Chains A and B, each alone.
Chain A
């Protein structure tokens, strides 16, 4: 597991980033906080020996998905949104439930519940992940590709300009 101090470091980054997303008023700052949060998560993955996942986490989420988020934010040229704490019924309920969830998690999940698989030497390597994905989890893997196909087709349909001849 490495030094617990790294765990706390990365955990702080993750949570701090997440809090930043919610509370920063500038949309761009929020997005950047999310990047920090995701990068911290990658750090946690490294501590768990899942190097491949960590690299992909940074590559895909921090490096590509969030770039598009920021791209859109920059295009829209959003103003700072003035957040004033408004206590509405919904937000109150949401807060109570979230607090409940947090308390339950902190109280009951203080130790690793099971340790399984980490002893395996190939765990978390490209070989290990690839092996699992293409044998045991081949079916979910293929469903994901179907999912992405549908999403791409959908994006193309919705974003493509109509051919003026076709719409008559």
Chain B
């Protein structure tokens, strides 16, 4: 039963998450021992850890030596998602400082929890066993529950944490149930073994496996907020501190998708499950509900929450396309990976601007607060316009390229209806995204003196803006990278 593990190999391969883990724990210790009130050191240390981790993950991605330790796997897919998480973490850290100072939640644990939650996500990306996958999800979400409720004195934050916690608990329960059924049917939770056993399933077990797949999918759909498991997300996104919302909307969504990948690689070979209709339905429902409800939102965070639901729907288009022939096609998967990157860059930028809009005592979370921004702060308004255009999917932004690849992969396998619905949805979404732009430029707003933007915030807005536009025009390298990442996936 024992497996010989090459611990040195594991140490080298696992450096991206080990670095974050070590720094996260160190920050907890520093928080206790640190005598000064200034928490800048925490931010600096976190950024250092992110940089180191980014370097290690990048290095491993370049080296491209897939290795499986059975419980953890190390391939390009996991490293590219490591990089995505790290990017989200980086931007979140950069926009955090001013926001959490305003909200009096600046404490070492905030940084530590962000880092440790990211470790959980990386565990999901590296999972070679359903147990590790589940534990990764739990590490991630428990961190997120706490971060969502970290504004203790705000009832909305409390509500967010509690709702997220209870619904997340139920989803986790369902997922464990599913994993248990897998174990009951096959005697293993290890993905590589499951993959082999699925070749010779007999009919009595296949029912059990069907249930298992259904339950696990429900759990994962909850994480990516796919309809009908999306009810938690608007309230949670609204109540949580804006920086945390940005992190949740991007990193956690990406983590949910990588988990979905890992599971789908295995279960896709089960021919008795109608994958394409299933995923298509999920996708259509998610897109449509997300977009339609987003139309009526007046709160920018809620609007972005529904928009994130809709975007999960678009990404599911790619998954439906990938599932066409009972083996995941590279093109579609690459498109999803690319879309995750694109969505992360744009959404983080949008949230950075929402953070930049806030002042002490006034977080400016209503869309109407954006009125007159075009006059008051033209640059900020211009950046927001770019992000809104990108979210709609209009060239020359990365958002357009992302959608283009997704829909192209769907057309390639002949899912025309799905693509038509997707495009129609994009048109609908233009109404509310461009509504924000309209508000900024064509509505009179309160006039007050604009405080100078903190340079960290400016940096993050600049970075995301650059990413949105640069990769919108020259997407080739990034797209190739996404394609490369899904080429050689191991279990």
A residues with a Cβ closer than 8 A to B are 101, 104-105, 107-109, 113-114, 116-117, 132, 135-140, 143-144, 146-147, 149-151, 153-154, 157-158, 162, 166-168
Q: What CA separation (Å) do A104 and B181 show in the bound complex? A: 12
- B152, A151: Cβ atoms closer than 8 Å: no
Q: How far is the CB of A37 from the nearest CB of chain B, in Å?
A: 15
29 contacts between A and B (CB under 8 A): A108-B205, A108-B207, A109-B184, A113-B185, A114-B187, A116-B187, A132-B1, A137-B71, A138-B5, A139-B72, A147-B138, A147-B139, A147-B142, A150-B116, A150-B117, A153-B109, A153-B146, A154-B113, A154-B145, A154-B146, A157-B107, A157-B109, A157-B146, A157-B150, A158-B149, A158-B152, A158-B161, A162-B153, A166-B104
- B112, A153: Cβ atoms closer than 8 Å: yes
A108-B207, A136-B1, A153-B113 given as contacts; is B135 within 8 A of A143 (CB)?
A: yes
B334 CB within 8 Å of chain A: no
Q: What CA separation (Å) do A146 and B113 show in the bound complex? A: 11
B residues with a Cβ closer than 8 A to A are 1-3, 5, 21, 25, 28, 37, 69, 71-72, 104, 107, 109, 112-113, 116-117, 119-120, 123, 129, 131-132, 135-136, 138-139, 142-143, 145-146, 149-150, 152-153, 161, 184-187, 204-205, 207-208, 211
- A150, B132: Cβ atoms closer than 8 Å: no
- A146, B208: Cβ atoms closer than 8 Å: no
Q: How far is the CB of A130 from the nearest CB of chain B, in Å?
A: 13
Per a CB cutoff under 8 Å, which of B72, B113, B152 touches A150?
B113
User: Which chain B residue lies CB-closest to A140?
Assistant: B131
User: Which chain A residue lies CB-closest to B69?
Assistant: A139
Q: How far is the CB of B225 from the nearest CB of chain A, in Å?
A: 19
Which chain B residues border A105 with CB–CB below 8 Å? 208, 211
- B1, A113: Cβ atoms closer than 8 Å: no
User: Which chain A residue lies CB-closest to B210?
Assistant: A104
The interface centre, meaning the residue of A107, A139, A149 with most chain B CB atoms within 10 A of its CB, is: A139
Which chain B residues border A149 with CB–CB below 8 Å? 25, 28, 116
Q: What CA separation (Å) do A46 and B109 show in the bound complex? A: 41
Which chain A residues border B120 with CB–CB below 8 Å? 146-147
- B139, A139: Cβ atoms closer than 8 Å: no
Q: What CA separation (Å) do A154 and B3 show in the bound complex? A: 35
Q: How far is the CB of A61 from the nearest CB of chain B, in Å?
A: 15
Q: From DSSP, what is the main secondary structure of chain B's interface residues?
A: helix
A135-B2, A139-B132 given as contacts; is B152 within 8 A of A146 (CB)?
A: no
- B152, A113: Cβ atoms closer than 8 Å: no
Q: How far is the CB of B110 from the nearest CB of chain A, in Å?
A: 9
Q: What CA separation (Å) do A150 and B207 show in the bound complex? A: 37
Which chain A residues border B204 with CB–CB below 8 Å? 108, 113
Per a CB cutoff under 8 Å, which of B5, B143, B205 touches A113?
B205
User: Which chain A residue lies CB-closest to B147?
Assistant: A154
A143-B123, A147-B135 given as contacts; is B186 within 8 A of A167 (CB)?
A: no
Which chain A residues border B21 with CB–CB below 8 Å? 146
Q: How far is the CB of B239 from the nearest CB of chain A, in Å?
A: 14
User: Which chain A residue lies CB-closest to B206?
Assistant: A108
17 additional contacts (CB under 8 A) given A113-B185, A137-B71: A101-B211, A104-B211, A108-B204, A108-B205, A113-B184, A113-B187, A113-B204, A113-B205, A135-B2, A143-B135, A146-B139, A147-B138, A150-B142, A154-B142, A154-B146, A157-B107, A158-B149
- A144, B135: Cβ atoms closer than 8 Å: yes
- A146, B119: Cβ atoms closer than 8 Å: yes
- A136, B132: Cβ atoms closer than 8 Å: no
- A143, B184: Cβ atoms closer than 8 Å: no
- A158, B139: Cβ atoms closer than 8 Å: no
User: Which chain A residue lies CB-closest to B197?
Assistant: A114
Which chain B residues border A143 with CB–CB below 8 Å? 123, 132, 135-136, 139
Q: What CA separation (Å) do A147 and B135 show in the bound complex? A: 8
- A114, B186: Cβ atoms closer than 8 Å: yes
Q: What CA separation (Å) do A144 and B132 show in the bound complex? A: 9
- B208, A109: Cβ atoms closer than 8 Å: yes
Which chain B residues border A144 with CB–CB below 8 Å? 135
Which chain A residues border B123 with CB–CB below 8 Å? 143
